Amino acid sequence: MAPRRKHDILNATLDLLAEKGYEGLTVEGVAERSGVNKTTIYRWWPSKAALLGAALVEARALDFEAPDTGSLRGDLHAVVEATARLLTTPPASDIAVAALGAAAGNPELAAAIQGFFADRYARELPIFERARARGEIDDEPDPMMIMDLLAGAVWLRVVFRGLPLDESFTGDAVSVVLGGVAAEPGSRRGD
């Protein structure tokens, strides 16, 4: 399939998800919106969940370029800002919330979302390799734990609590993960 055609199909998929939710998303609707024949779409993606899985990883609306700012603090700040932007700016925020919501009770879609997070994590790993090379972290901290804490905090605050992100949110979150909240040095990790 021509890259531009594939691109049109995947973007139509996310547009329709943002507009109509997962229930309202249909392969027929994607065919109509993208101007590509329905049978052509089915030849590439056997189900609505498979189509959405590909769209989540490949479409431009959720695109993610891992930052390289020269410091771990700068890189983490950029990643959290990107997550915050994604979860507060339509249509990406509608896409993310609708996809996650529909995954409850839909194992095929849940697998597609796990693929999305795995893809993103693979692109985040160089941040931690560079931080180790610079001596900013030692071998012990698990990069996945760091990303779970930071991205999870954005989800909790914005989506679950429904609260706005104040200006200091990103800086505060990164500072806690880098330096901790304990008052005494004796509480530092590994002591």
b (16+ CB within 10 A) / e for 102-115:
bbeebeebbebbee
Contact 97, 17 (CB under 8 A): no
Sign of the CA dihedral 6, 12, 15, 16? negative
Could you tell me how many residues of this chain bind a copy of itself (CB under 8 A)? 59
Separation between Cα atoms, residue 53 and residue 46, nearest integer Å:
11
What single DSSP character describes residue 187? G
* One character per residue 88-107, x = contact with a copy of itself (rule: CB under 8 A): ---------xx-xxxxxx--
* One character per residue 23-52, x = contact with a copy of itself (rule: CB under 8 A): ------------------------------
Contact 190, 139 (CB under 8 A): no
Closest to 46 measured CA to CA, from 2, 97, 108, 116: 108
Contact 91, 13 (CB under 8 A): no
Site for a copy of itself in 131-190 (CB under 8 A): 135-138, 141-142, 144-157, 160-162, 169, 172-173, 175-185, 187-190
Site for a copy of itself in 110-129 (CB under 8 A): 110-111, 113-114, 117-118
CB of 20 to a copy of itself, least distance (A): 9
Question: Does the footprint of a copy of itself cover residue 78 (CB under 8 A)?
Answer: no
Q: Which is nearer to a copy of itself, 31 or 147 (CB)?
A: 147
CB of 42 to a copy of itself, least distance (A): 26
Binding residues for a copy of itself (CB under 8 A): 21, 72-73, 97-98, 100-105, 110-111, 113-114, 117-118, 135-138, 141-142, 144-157, 160-162, 169, 172-173, 175-185, 187-191
